């Protein structure tokens, strides 16, 4: 049920969802560059949210996959989320800004020793197994290629799946390609390129446009600068 | 009373559906009454249409992928049928089938459940309880003003706190696509990305073509409270389609402003809906407490033509379930609550009991009958907000009245208790 929006708390103007993990530090840096107070707010890593009285902002720290969910359901007005997560969840949120950082690629890969075998298998059995953290992206991608696949959802260590024989190929994100290489996997195709996006709740965007737009413009000003660097 | 019923059976419902109990239904009924009064007083007449129809008809004029959202199945004769996913299309079908041009304009309203598939993990409902109206043969701008002011009046009368109406115009986007000299695919790209609210992709796409124009485009997609902010930008674009659609919206905005509604209005050209049938003015209703649209509507001039009658039309639908959640109850829901009493006696005395109940009801009371076993009756009465328990003794023609709130008992003659009020 979507009615969590706007709890009666006037100690802040906007509520912002931040993803834990590899995007967290980049988000904090962007906020800092844009002139928002970050020092002292995020030291206690177990805290799930924190309010900046100076900027009148509340930060909610959540798992990356939950950021669009928080925003879609109005628990947060805005959030920082990777495009990969947005593509997977297909959340009903507004994508306002590309921060052009946190870049990674969603790719398909197979074990170096199996590439030809996979092809043979597909010709023989007409279906291959794909292990992925992104079943939705995988389904769309292979549907569009007209390939018949069985999708197996895993929550981590995707590189192991071909080695253990769980799947023939994997569909996963990679930033540097290092993990892929180290596990003797070879990249086959690029599915999409992901960067960090600033997203907003669609109703909040209309009802609190001035506040949200002010925040977006502040972030935008540092994004285009770092683009020049 | 139901002590033996400690455990309920565990039964499942298909996801996205639920049961609604008397308290909630009665509150919704009050909301519906307010809405109905407004509809009726503006001369709208209630219609009902079948819950399911041929898929071919029910998917006329909707967007691509919409068929995935329909709940469909095969009829006995092998034809594909679907549950209605909104009421606009069935009413367009009804108008095309049954109305003659001499009967126009026709004003219809409805209270109906519509059904849509939704993501199981997103916790979405598969049933929408909608209240709405359709103005068939709505030639002029005045019709748009009429339906918008009805919508605003309803939200005012229901005391929905902080509600806003976002209004836009679908042709403006087409005009802007011309301005960028986009082909059909480009136009589709814009539309699809506005529906999925992906401004980043739109920015990248348009910036490649013309950076300056892209900035103007994105400026126009921002929601503003006063339409005047866009005047200069629009006049600089110098394109008839853009100018005309803007002017149309300005006209509607102007009248609503004169009516004193400007505090509720947001002008927003990024409003785009999955339904392809919208053809002009388009609008949405928001409320700060609810993160979904509490209502939406607009003009759909080409839709009824698909059913054989070429007439313009406009209308809107409100989501009664969301409206209910948007209200600060109980302040808003004034339920004229008649006093409830329990009437207890032996089942052998049913004839006298029914006669007495009829007389008490005549006094405006709500009477619930109980027979034989009166253990726990007091606590049950308190739980169901009954004010007193009547225990008549028909031989003596007296009745013992237990006041649940004050916890006192008194015995009066039956005639006295009937005449009491």
The predicted complex's ipTM stands at: 0.79
Question: Helix or strand or coil: residue B46?
Answer: strand
Element housing B385 (H / E): none
C-alpha angle B213-A98-B171 in degrees, rounded to nearest 5: 40
Mean pLDDT of B222-228: 92
Distance CA B220, CA B267 (A): 10
- Which percentage of chain B shows pLDDT scores above 70? 95
Mean pLDDT value of segment A57-85? 94
Whether the CB-CB separation of A75 and A153 falls below 8 Å is answered with: no
Contacts of A101 in chain B (CB under 8 A): none
**Paired strand residues for A229:** none
| 8 A C-beta contact, residue B293 and residue B319 | yes
Catalogue the E-assigned strands of B331-397: 340-345, 366-371, 388-393
Per residue in B384-407, pLDDT tens?
888 999 999 999 999 999 999 888
Closest Cα partner for B170 from B66, B238, B241, B235?
Answer: B241
Q: Sorting pLDDT into bands at 50, 70 and 90, what band is B411?
A: very high
Residue pair B414/B397 in contact by the 8 Å Cβ criterion:
yes
Nearest residue in chain A measured CA to CA from B264 = A207
| B223/A95 Cβ within 8 A | no
* pLDDT over 80 at A28, yes or no: yes
Taking each helix axis from N to C terminus, what angle separates B170-179 and B184-195, rounded to the nearest 10 degrees? 140
pLDDT number for residue A228: 41
B24 touches chain A (CB under 8 A): no
Size of interface A-B (CB pairs under 8 A): 64
DSSP state, residue B319: E
- Between B67 and A150, the higher pLDDT residue: A150
A207 lies within 8 A of chain B by CB: yes
Q: What is the 3-state secondary structure (H, E, C) of chain A?
A: CCCCCCCCCCCCCEEEEEECHHHHHHHHHHHHHCCCCCCCCCCCCCCCEEEECCCCEEEEEECHHHHHHHHHCCCCCEEEEEHHHHHHHCCCCEEEEECCCCCEEEEEEEECCCHHHHHHHHHHHCCEEEEECCHHHHHHHHHHHCCCEEEEECCCCCCHHHHHCCCCEEEEEECCCHHHHHCCEEEEEEEEEECEEEEECHHHHHHCHHHHHHHHHHHHHHHHHHHHC
pLDDT at B182 over 50: yes
Q: Which residue's entry shows tokens 């409206």?
A: B323
Q: What's the distance, Cα to Cα, between the start and end of chain B in Å?
A: 31
Burial class (CB in 10 A: 0-12, 13-18, 19+), B378: middle
Contact B373, B403 (CB under 8 A): no
Looking up tokens 């709405």 gives B132
Q: Is B292 touching A (CB cutoff 8 A)?
A: yes
B249-253, B265-269, B326-330, B341-345: least confidently modelled range: B326-330
Sheet holding B52-54, edge to edge: B52-54, B80-83, B72-74
Please tell me the predicted confidence (pLDDT) of residue B121.
67
- B164 and A6: CB-CB below 8 Å? no
Under an 8 A CB cutoff, do B222 and A209 touch?
yes
Mean pLDDT in residue range B319-340: 74
* For residue A86, pLDDT beyond 90: yes
**Best CA proximity match to A15, nearest among A57, A43, A44, A47:** A57
- Four-point Cα dihedral B215, B220, B221, B224, nearest 10: 130
Question: Which 3 state secondary structure label does DSSP give B196?
Answer: coil
Task: Please count the other Cβ atoms lying within 10 Å of the Cβ belonging to residue A183.
Answer: 18
Q: What is the pLDDT of residues B5-42, one digit of tens each?
A: 567 788 888 888 999 988 888 888 889 999 999 999 99
Q: Which two tokens stand for residue B323?
A: 């409206």
What is the pLDDT confidence band of residue B123, given thresholds at 50, 70 and 90? low
CB contact under 8 A, A203 and B290: yes
| pLDDT at residue number A227 | 46
CA distances from B181 to A60, A174, B123, B186, B293 (A): 43, 38, 41, 9, 33
Predicted local distance difference test score (pLDDT) of residue B4: 56
Beta bridge partners of B52: B83
Contacts of A74 in chain B (CB under 8 A): 291
Interface contact flag, A203 B291, Cβ < 8 Å: yes
Q: Enumerate the β-bridge partners of residue A187.
A: A109
What's the whole-model pTM score?
0.85
Distance CA B335, CA A171 (A): 57
Q: Do A95 and B199 touch (CB under 8 A)?
A: yes
pLDDT for the residue B170: 92
Q: How far is A47 from chain B (nearest CA, A)?
A: 26
What is the C-alpha separation between B186 and B180, in angstroms, rounded?
Answer: 9
Is B65 within 8 Å of chain A by CB? no
Question: Is pLDDT of B199 > 70?
Answer: yes
Alpha helices, DSSP H, located in B158-228 = 170-179, 184-195, 199-209, 211-220
Nearest-CB residue to B291 (from A5, A94, A197): A5
Give pLDDT, residue B332.
44
Beta strand spans in B126-280 (E): 127-136, 164-169, 265-267
| Chain-chain contact of B325 with A201 (C-beta, under 8 angstroms) | no
How far apart are alpha carbons B316 and B31 in whole angstroms? 17
Strands (E), B269-407: 281-287, 290-299, 313-319, 340-345, 366-371, 388-393, 398-403
> What average pLDDT does the structure give for chain B?
90
Q: Which residue of B has its CA nearest to A97?
A: B200
**What is the Cα–Cα distance from B313 to B39, expressed in whole angstroms?**
16
Measured CA to CA, the distance from residue A139 to residue A147 in angstroms comes to 10
Which are the contacts of B63, defined by CB distance < 8 A and separation ≥ 6?
A: B195, B274, B275, B276
- Which residue is closest to A98 within chain B, CA to CA? B200
**Mean pLDDT confidence for A53-82:** 94
Q: Which of A201, A204, A206 sits opposite B166 (nearest CB)?
A: A206
Which residue spans within B59-104 are E strands per DSSP?
Answer: 72-74, 80-83
């Amino acid at each position: 049920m979507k009615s969590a929006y706007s709890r009666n708390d006037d100690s802040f103007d906007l509520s912002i969802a931040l993803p834990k993990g590899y995007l967290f530090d980049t988000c904090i840096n962007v906020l800092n560059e844009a002139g928002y107070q970050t020092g002292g707010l995020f030291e206690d890593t177990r805290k799930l949210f924190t309010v900046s009285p100076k900027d009148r902002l509340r930060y909610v720290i959540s798992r990356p996959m939950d950021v669009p969910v928080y925003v879609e359901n109005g628990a947060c007005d805005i959030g920082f989320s990777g495009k990969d997560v947005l593509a997977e969840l297909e959340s009903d949120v507004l994508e306002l800004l590309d921060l052009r950082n946190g870049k990674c690629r969603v790719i398909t890969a197979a074990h170096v020793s199996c590439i030809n075998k996979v092809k043979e298998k597909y010709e023989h059995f007409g279906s291959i197994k794909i292990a992925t953290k992104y079943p939705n992206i995988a389904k769309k991608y292979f549907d569009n290629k007209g390939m018949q696949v069985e999708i197996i959802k895993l929550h981590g260590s995707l590189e192991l799946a071909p080695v253990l024989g769980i799947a023939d190929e994997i569909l996963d994100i990679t930033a540097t390609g290092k993990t892929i290489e180290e596990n003797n996997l070879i990249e086959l195709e690029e599915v999409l390129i992901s960067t960090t996006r600033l997203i907003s709740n669609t109703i909040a965007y209309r009802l609190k446009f001035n506040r949200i737009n002010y925040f977006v413009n502040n972030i935008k000003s540092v994004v285009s600068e770092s683009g020049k660097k | 009373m139901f002590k033996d019923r400690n455990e309920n059976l565990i039964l499942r419902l298909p996801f996205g559906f639920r049961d609604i109990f008397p308290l909630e239904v009665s509150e919704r009924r009050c909301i519906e009454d307010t809405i109905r009064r407004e509809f009726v007083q503006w001369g709208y007449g209630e219609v009902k249409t079948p819950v399911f129809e041929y898929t071919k008809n029910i998917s006329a004029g909707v967007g691509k992928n919409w068929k995935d959202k329909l709940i469909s199945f095969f009829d006995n004769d092998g034809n594909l049928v679907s549950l209605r996913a909104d009421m606009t299309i069935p009413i367009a079908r009804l108008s095309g089938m049954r109305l003659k041009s001499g009967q126009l304009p026709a004003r219809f309203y409805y209270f109906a459940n519509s059904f849509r598939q939704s993501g199981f993990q997103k916790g979405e409902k598969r049933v929408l309880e909608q209240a709405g109206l359709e103005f068939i043969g709505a030639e002029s701008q005045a019709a748009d003003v009429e339906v918008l002011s009805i919508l605003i009046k309803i939200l005012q009368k229901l005391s929905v706190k902080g509600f806003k109406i976002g209004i836009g115009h679908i042709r403006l986007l087409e005009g802007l696509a011309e301005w960028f000299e986009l082909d059909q695919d480009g136009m589709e790209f814009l539309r699809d990305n506005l529906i999925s609210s992906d401004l980043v992709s739109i920015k990248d796409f348009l910036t490649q073509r013309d950076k300056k124009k892209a900035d103007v485009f994105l400026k126009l997609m921002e929601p503003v409270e006063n339409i005047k902010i866009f005047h200069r930008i629009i006049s600089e674009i110098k394109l008839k389609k853009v100018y005309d659609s803007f002017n149309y919206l300005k006209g509607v905005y102007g009248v609503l402003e004169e009516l004193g509604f400007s505090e509720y209005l947001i002008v927003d050209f990024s409003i785009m809906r999955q339904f392809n049938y919208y053809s002009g003015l388009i609008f949405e209703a928001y409320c700060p407490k609810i993160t979904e649209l509490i209502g939406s509507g607009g003009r759909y001039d080409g839709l009824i033509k698909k059913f054989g009658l070429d007439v313009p039309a406009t209308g809107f639908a409100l989501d009664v379930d969301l409206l209910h959640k948007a209200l600060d109850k109980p302040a808003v829901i004034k339920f004229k609550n008649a006093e409830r009493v329990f009437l207890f006696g032996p089942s052998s005395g049913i004839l006298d009991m029914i006669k007495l109940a009829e007389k008490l009801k005549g006094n405006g009371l709500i009477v619930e009958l109980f027979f034989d076993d009166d253990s726990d009756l007091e606590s049950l009465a308190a739980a169901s907000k009954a004010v007193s328990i009547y225990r008549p003794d028909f031989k003596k023609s007296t009745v013992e009245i237990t006041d649940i709130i004050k916890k006192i008992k008194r015995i009066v003659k039956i005639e006295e208790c009937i005449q009491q009020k």
